[in-house]
């Protein structure tokens, strides 16, 4: 899917339609404070206890894309619900 890098859309902060710059959201830095990460750390024994399988499941055919829209007037960014797509490209118009 090709998406323009700038287009006019509604800004919830200005409450008007303004030109927005589009950027793809990058994956954030991971921490080891999640409950599942702590569970995996305690289950590092010989053998598999069944919950965390050693068999790779493979990747999904499409990935969920988060896109951030930044207003050119107020410089604030907002998100919309993520959507699934196989290829994502920003193009200049």
Find the CATH number of the domain harbouring 18.
Answer: 3.10.450.80
In a domain? residue 19: yes
More confident residue, 67 or 50: 67
Domain count of the fold of the chain = 1
In a domain? residue 51: no
Closest by CA to 23, choosing from 47, 6, 37, 41, is 6
pLDDT for residue 12: 97
pLDDT for residue 73: 97
In a domain? residue 62: yes
In a domain? residue 38: no
In a domain? residue 43: no
Range of the domain at 20: 1-28+58-93
In a domain? residue 78: yes
For 1, 42, 55, 61, 83, the CA distances from 10, given in Å and listed in that order, are: 21, 48, 46, 31, 19
In a domain? residue 47: no
Per-residue pLDDT for 84 more than 80? yes
pLDDT for residue 38: 82
């Amino acid at each position: 899917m090709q998406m323009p890098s700038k287009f006019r859309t509604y800004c919830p902060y200005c409450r008007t339609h303004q030109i927005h710059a589009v950027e793809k959201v990058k994956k954030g830095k991971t921490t080891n404070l999640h409950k599942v990460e702590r569970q995996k750390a305690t289950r590092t024994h010989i053998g598999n206890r069944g919950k965390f399988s050693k068999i790779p499941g493979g990747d999904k055919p499409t990935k969920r894309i988060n896109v951030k829209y930044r207003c050119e007037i107020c410089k604030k960014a907002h998100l919309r619900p993520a959507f699934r797509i196989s290829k994502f490209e920003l193009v200049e118009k």
